[in-house]
Amino acid sequence: MTGRGRLLFAEAWRSLGANLSTTVAATMTVLIGMFLLGLFIALGTWTVSWSNHVKSELVVKVNFKDSATVQQRNDYARMLQQSPYVKVGGIKYISKQQALKDMSKRFPEMVKNLSYNPLPNSIAVTPNKAENVDLLFSSLSGKNKAPFVDKVTDGKRISHRILQVAHVIEVVFTLATLVLVIASVLLISNTIRLSIFSRRREIEVMKLVGATNWFVRGPFMLEGLICGIAGALLAVFFLVIGKAIALPAILPHLSGDADVHALAFPLVALVLLGSGLALGAVGSGLTIRRFLRV
């Protein structure tokens, strides 16, 4: 670090100590903002991951008639593989025996007294995109239904509800993050603005004795960066504590699927530290540009 850099850092550090109330206010602003941002990232990425998992499980089920031959079922499956709405490898054949076995695991009371297997041979067809479930259903039902197909179902009401919830989650998460970031920038800008106003006489004296604009602005920029990183570090610290205390109680109530997860915590911590630095720099930079008349 050069002599000028050390001087700017020393001035910024002295100013932080001399204006302790505004320093604490700026740091607490970043702390609250980054803590909430961390929660939004964790909860938001988990809910988006959950919605993607649920969307990936949307299928169109085709039940074959008992009279359908093996050749007809195989030809039908090969035909589906050419459909533009079907996911690659998204065709799963379910035999009568497998369907009954699955049913007995899920609802043992319902199949306990059955004298024969009433379930049909079927295939579960996964669309290439969850939004294409209706198009896939239409291409297999109605006038397009094969003669040896008994019934085509897609759980339309459930699938539409899932898609609506998923879209709402994604929009709300994006808007909430944007609002939180903007609010944090405005709050830290206002805090540094108060610091500048409280020291305007000091700034005037510095200019009168020949201080350059960079020397006047530099300490404020460093103050913003220091408050930003300090607030972000505190936010990470409290998130670690919250994660250790709250997560064990929450996990049993969450989805147990392996592909449903939030963003890894080390990445969340890096995002918060980077955001804290950016907030400090942007907040102080905007404030100085608008309100520091030198």
User: Which of the four pLDDT bands, split at 50, 70 and 90, describes residue 286?
Assistant: low
CB 35 within 8 A of CB 41: no
Is the torsion defined by CA of 99, 102, 107, 112 positive or negative?
positive
Q: What's the whole-number mean pLDDT along residues 94-107?
A: 84
Q: Is the pLDDT of residue 83 over 80?
A: yes
d(CA 190, CA 193): 5
Q: What is the pLDDT of residues 244-284, one digit of tens each?
A: 887 666 665 555 556 667 778 888 888 888 888 887 777 66
What distances in angstroms separate CA 247 from CA 243, 244, 269, one per listed residue?
Answer: 5, 6, 17
Instruction: Please give the residue that has the higher pLDDT: either 223 or 8.
Output: 223
Q: What is the pLDDT of residues 5-30, one digit of tens each?
A: 565 566 566 666 656 676 777 778 77
Q: Is the pLDDT of residue 86 over 70?
A: yes
pTM: 0.60
Q: What's the whole-number mean pLDDT along residues 82-95?
A: 86
Q: Which domains does the chain have, with CATH numbers?
A: 3-54+162-291 (no CATH), 59-153 (3.30.70.3040)
Q: Is the pLDDT of residue 232 over 80?
A: yes
Rounded to 5°, angle at Cα 99 from 97 and 102: 110
Q: What's the whole-number mean pLDDT along residues 80-95?
A: 86
Task: Please state at what angle helix 156-198 crosses helix 213-250, rounded to 10 degrees.
Answer: 140
What mean pLDDT, rounded, does the chain reach? 76
Q: Is the pLDDT of residue 290 over 60?
A: no
